[in-house]
Amino acid sequence: MWRWIILLIVLSVAMGCQQQECKKPATGKPINPNGDSELALLMRDMFLESDSLKRLVEEGKQLSGLRKYQEIHSAIPTDSTVRGPVFDAFAQNYIASIKALEASDSASIFNFNHMVDQCMNCHTEFCPGPKKRIKKLYIR
Ligand code: HEC
């Protein structure tokens, strides 16, 4: 019995360290049959959407009807310890930055880059792995 408890403690400490890089849970078992969490799938969407927004902003197009991604708050992550008030605060900032981008008169490079900042901020805290990819979204 104690052996299991100690093993559990060791495992959760190990997972706590891995969380930084957004690894899969230590059991190696994927949460969904396809191996991707709800949050990971949502993030992939967000990445593609931001990439197409980037092109529109570069062309100076007026933006409207942007997705607000409220689902960030409820999507189940690979690592359940990610969820909490800190995560929600970062998610709020990100959603606010989309609204600001949409509210700007013409597509604003400043507001777009500010949105990418919000991706980067949350990733610095919870998931540095994809930061290199996200950084490429910035408009120079
Ligand atoms: C509120 C925090 C937060 C914000 C904001 C955020 N992310 Fe994430 N992101 C995460 C977490 C946590 C994961 C790990 C998801 C998982 O594995 O369950 C992740 C995963 C990812 C992944 C990897 C998905 C995969 O294939 O496994 C990419 C790419 C990504 N995010 C891009 C972005 C982009 C682009 C933005 C901004 C448009 C963004 N993220 C904003 C927290 C955030």
Please, which pLDDT band fits residue 107 given cuts at 50, 70 and 90?
confident
The proportion of the chain whose per-residue pLDDT surpasses 90, expressed as a percent, equals 69
Cβ-based neighbours of 23, under 8 Å, separated by 6 or more: 78, 79
Assess contact for 112 and 53: CB atoms under 8 A: yes
| Cβ of 50 less than 6 Å from ligand 1 | yes
Per-residue pLDDT band at 27 (split at 50, 70, 90): low
Cβ–ligand 1 contact at 42 (below 6 Å):
no
Average pLDDT, integer, range 72-90:
96
- Burial category of 85 from C-beta neighbours within 10 Å (exposed 0-12, middle 13-18, buried 19 and up): exposed
Give mean pLDDT, residues 35-59.
95
pLDDT, residue 19, reads 45
Question: Does 118 contact ligand 1 (Cβ within 6 A)?
Answer: yes
The C-alpha torsion from 103 through 108 and 111 to 114, rounded to 10°, is 160
pLDDT at 138: 98
Question: What is the mean predicted confidence (pLDDT) over 45-67?
Answer: 94
Torsional sign, CA 108, 138, 68, 87: negative
Distance from Cα 123 to the centre of ligand 1, integer Å: 7
Which residues fall within 8 angstroms of residue 16, CB to CB, at 6 or more apart? 81
Residue 98 exposed, middle or buried by CB count within 10 Å (0-12, 13-18, 19+)? buried
**pLDDT score recorded for residue 49:** 97
Percentage of the chain with pLDDT > 70?
76
Average model confidence (pLDDT) across the chain:
85
For residue 136, pLDDT beyond 70: yes
